[in-house]
Chain A
């Protein structure tokens, strides 16, 4: 009597949303449409901002502005919106220095058009990602890599990793957090963006 309704609810709860409803849609849009643009965004920022050590902060701010705006209303053209936000951010920052490179203004449309070009094979992308993932794993410190491999190749949960590696929970957490950051950078093509920098 007690069990069946509970089970039913639990089943639904398992699929439950990590964010309150509404925000989930926003997160889904952000992951599905904004993040895949990261290589273009980074390329744009690298090209238009001299101090390369600011780039990650700029990217973060672009995302935060995009998120805030999209919360009110999702933009119709995501790519144009993201790049325009980046452009405006850079122009605002440069204005303090009284310099606005013309390239910044022209670049949004040029980049946008280039990315509309058809024909990037999905299989090629997957192969490329796999290779980059391998590269990312290889660059991790050995113990960190071990934790990530146990989590993602062997599918172990955190406490199992702690047992297997004979290390404490906080240490596992440190390794996994580090792994998440490194893998995410690779998944969104950070190294590719750097290579293309003029």
Chain B
């Protein structure tokens, strides 16, 4: 008898194991079916138990898991899967189901429709505007939205936000940040305002970025384009799709570090948390790491860094100092 190739067996075993361990609807009947499959052949049993052993080991690497002790973050992370869905569903309903609503209410844009939205450190908020467009605010962000029957204008005063714009040819959606301006042409994009500059990553559709300084420039962005605009400069580069997804990690509550230096990673984490990470000593900030970590968990970041690089950590209340 020729045994099934190990590769096919492993795939089959992986399918069983993921059904059993990751889903909540595993039933006694499923278990009986799995038991029967395991009994069928020692080849089945060893392929399955090898993966089960690998999964156990993975789970034991506790440093990669957030502490559930943070009751608040646990609560919010439990809510997260639901919240964006609800908002999205609501937005979709107000756009698609708009026919009936419009009949009843008519388009109802207040002419003084000026609203201010903001988040604190570590904050994260999704807002749906009167036109159905959605803005997702990252940490420490403040913006003003003016949505009227004639114009849609958002001022990004500080911070970072992800925009999903419902296109309307008659009312272009404009985001102003200092001397720079983004005009949507039906689009999803990420805008991040730093001192003196604006970074824009285009996910879907088209948008135009204009600088309004002395040498006014303009660029048309397509999906995957990243524009960096300062008062007098405007540059556009291409970004790999997975890079972009990583940069949008905050929408899921995580930060993705891809070959980031410890210094950059700390600066990024400090955007989200009161307790600031301070890196001391030559060369420490230049260590690089790859990690996906919850944005609000300074402790986990620090523990991971300590484990990976053998560093000293000192907690001083407002600061956590990392050194050799």
- With a cutoff of 8 Å between Cβ atoms, the chain B residues found around residue A35 in the complex are 49-50, 53
CA–CA, A155 and B294, complex, Å: 12
Q: Is the CB of A18 within 8 A of B20?
A: yes
Interface of A, secondary structure class, is: helix
Q: Is the CB of B15 within 8 A of A177?
A: yes
Quote the shortest CB–CB distance from B9 to chain A (angstroms): 6
Q: Is the CB of B14 within 8 A of A18?
A: no
Q: How many residues in A have their beta carbons less than 8 Å from beta carbons of B?
A: 60
CA–CA, A159 and B82, complex, Å: 11
Quote the shortest CB–CB distance from B245 to chain A (angstroms): 6
Q: Is the CB of B5 within 8 A of A181?
A: no
Q: Is the CB of A156 within 8 A of B54?
A: no
Q: Given A56-B6, A155-B65, are A164 and B52 also a contact pair (CB < 8 Å)?
A: no
Is the CB of B232 closer than 8 A to any CB of chain A? no
Q: Is the CB of B294 within 8 A of A153?
A: yes
Quote the shortest CB–CB distance from A128 to chain B (angstroms): 11
CA–CA, A57 and B8, complex, Å: 10
CA–CA, A57 and B18, complex, Å: 22
Q: Is the CB of A20 within 8 A of B35?
A: yes
Is the CB of B278 closer than 8 A to any CB of chain A? no
Partner of B18, one of A65, A135, A142, A180: A180
Is the CB of A103 closer than 8 A to any CB of chain B? no
Q: Is the CB of B22 within 8 A of A31?
A: no
Q: How many residues in B have their beta carbons less than 8 Å from beta carbons of A?
A: 65
CA–CA, A160 and B35, complex, Å: 27
- With a cutoff of 8 Å between Cβ atoms, the chain B residues found around residue A131 in the complex are 308
Partner of B55, one of A65, A130, A180: A180
Residues of A within 8 A of B (CB): 18-20, 23, 27, 30-31, 35, 56-57, 59-61, 63-68, 71, 126-127, 129-131, 133-135, 137-138, 142, 145-146, 149-161, 163-164, 172-173, 176-178, 180-181, 183-185, 187-188
Residues of B within 8 A of A (CB): 3, 5-7, 9-11, 14-15, 17-20, 22-24, 31, 34-35, 38, 41-43, 45-47, 49-59, 61, 63-66, 68, 77, 80-82, 85, 241-242, 245-246, 252-254, 258, 289-294, 304, 307-308
**Which 8 pairs of residues, A with B, have the shortest CB-CB distance?**
A184-B54, A60-B6, A63-B46, A142-B242, A177-B14, A31-B53, A158-B23, A176-B18
